[in-house]
Structure 1
């Protein structure tokens, strides 16, 4: 059944974001602690947005096949946008009210802000392939300017923003620019010092949030109408004339029809249990995908039977480069490593020597010898040790558990075993000055079984989560049809 609406005025864009014409009398100082007060909403919204992502993928497939956005999924995702808008209006998206946002996907008629999206009867199969990433790119750049912000702890080098240092030596910087948060801060300061919220600033913040949420709905596949590059400020929306149009209407229990407002409210009803089920299912889907990706990565990490580190370049003016003592104890660090391989290649002309020795034997050999010690496992940080030339060329020393020398790439392979070990790289003739490429590898025999376990767990979670999402959406769809 449909209800025919007469020609009149309706919002020009299918995403309708409205707010009270004026701020809802926010207090002078409550905004200073709202970041604490909205933590529960932040946690819930993080879960809801995970479900939003999963359901949007389902909607993507449905649109490709049927040209329709499943109504139950549409209502859920609109509810997530609506919830996000209420929290933003209460907190640092506008600071427009001190009334705490309700925990619901539904519209709350007496709350000062509202959001709704016109349900599209048909959506383009072609646009759904490109609008969320290619066509929306210009808007993404603008949204990044409006929303990307943060007060962050930084290192000595500050890439952007204003930075200052606290008394304890920690540097902080406002990075990214985020216009909405910055303007909300200005509004908060105005409230703090004057007790008044500048009306022009309020209208601007509403307009900026409207822009962001229009883009969110477009990227969420809810409409094919491209978001306008227009800043519609204030709580209302610009209106335009429209011809007659038809809106689905649900039958009332007594056999009559509901008016449009009641029909919309009835259509958009998700139960608490349904919301919890779809959120749990979506988290299971995302976790399952993560485990499947991790399992596949583990199973594919070995190349020619080895898991190899990135190649690092070591350089010294001394006579050798040695690692710090590496202690292998317990199953994880000896049996778990399997075979260990160390490879080294002289960057300049000349032969190269690479050897592995117990830490005590290597220390005796390098005692009094000028050399460098590798101190960082991820980055090659070298600590120079002063001394003289080595008295014995490395090939003639009897301290090595295994060693290799000669031109080109040299490789040493041993079975991991308990103890404290040192790798030494130097010129074969024991001369000073060395620049070499080095990498380390291990067989990690447990890697493939562990990857298989993760992959299996991921499949189970993915299927279970998908089933939970399907059941929740089916239940919501059944409610819509009743």
Structure 2
């Protein structure tokens, strides 16, 4: 199974190395329980379980995870900094990136893409996100209206996140029974994960380019 990544010239790239075989059926069987600490910190599958929950008041800030809630507050403060002082505070930006890196690792584990337990904090892991962050003068119109620009993505990703949860459950049974992750389900899950993380980076004001409506 090839490395799945978003290769288009959008400034957010997500990469997950193919899982080594044979898969660890013991950790797969108890994955949801093992993932609870990361769920509490960075949220669950899809956009609806993360920053989109706050924007659309779906589930409230509790569904963001602790770090997701912190990142949301950082984004709100940064919004005022960009709009009124034309500055994106570096410390707040770095905290948002810290959250996104951790969330990427947590999602890859929860979605059964990898079997290695994710580290608590920044450390090497075969799932990563790279964001070429906006520099210099920011697009104040885009920043000012960001919450409205997010609505189409949030609606679509809400539906896709439900589908991703269903396909992950199907993949869970497949992995337990025959040790394989169906390729079509893998590609769909990776696509939703990429889309979700691109939109999260946009929602957190790390980039100004509008995210594509694409699973690629």
- TM value normalised by structure 2: 0.80
Offset at residue 88 of structure 1 (A): 1.1
Say if 1:81 and 1:213, in contact at 8 Å, map to a contact too.
Answer: yes
- How many residue pairs get matched? 186
Tell me how far apart the structure 1 counterparts of residues 20 and 89 of structure 2 sit (CA, whole Å). Answer: 36
1:119 aligns with 2:115: no
For 2:168 and 2:41, how far apart are their aligned partners in 1?
23
Contact 2:81-2:89 at 8 Å conserved across structures: yes
Q: In 1, Cα distance between the equivalents of 2:36 and 2:192?
A: 23
Give 1:34's match in structure 2, choosing from 23, 31, 48.
31
Shift of 1:66: 3.2
CA distance in 1, matches of 2:39, 2:139: 34
Instruction: Give the deviation of 1:31 after TM superposition.
Output: 2.1
Q: Aligned-pair distance for 1:29?
A: 4.3
Aligned Cα root-mean-square deviation (Å): 1.7
- For residues 104 and 172 of structure 2, the distance between their equivalents in structure 1, rounded to whole angstroms, comes to 18
Equivalent position of 1:187 in the other structure: 171
Partner of 2:186: 202
Larger Rg: 1
Counterpart position of 1:77: 96
Structure 1 equivalent of residue 57 of structure 2: none
Q: Deviations over 1:67-91 (max 9, x none)?
A: 3322221111011011111111101
Q: Structure 1 stretches of 5 or more lacking a match?
A: 1-9, 148-177, 233-482
| Partner of residue 138 from structure 1, selected from 135, 152, 157 | 152
Specify the SS of the correspondent of 2:25.
coil
Asked if structure 2 preserves the Cα contact closer than 8 Å seen for 1:87 and 1:101, the reply is: yes
In the TM superposition, residue 115 of structure 1 has moved relative to its aligned partner by 0.8
Deviations 1:373-420 (A, max 9, x none): xxxxxxxxxxxxxxxxxxxxxxxxxxxxxxxxxxxxxxxxxxxxxxxx
In 2, distance between residues paired with 1:28 and 1:100? 13
Higher relative contact order (CA 8 A, sep 6+): 2
Taking the aligned partners of 2:88 and 2:215, their CA distance within structure 1 comes to: 28
In structure 2, how many angstroms separate the alpha carbons of the residues matched to 1:24 and 1:130?
43
SS at match of 1:115: strand
Question: Equivalent residue of 2:145, what SS?
Answer: helix
- DSSP-derived class of the 1:44 partner: helix
Partner SS state of residue 136, structure 1: helix
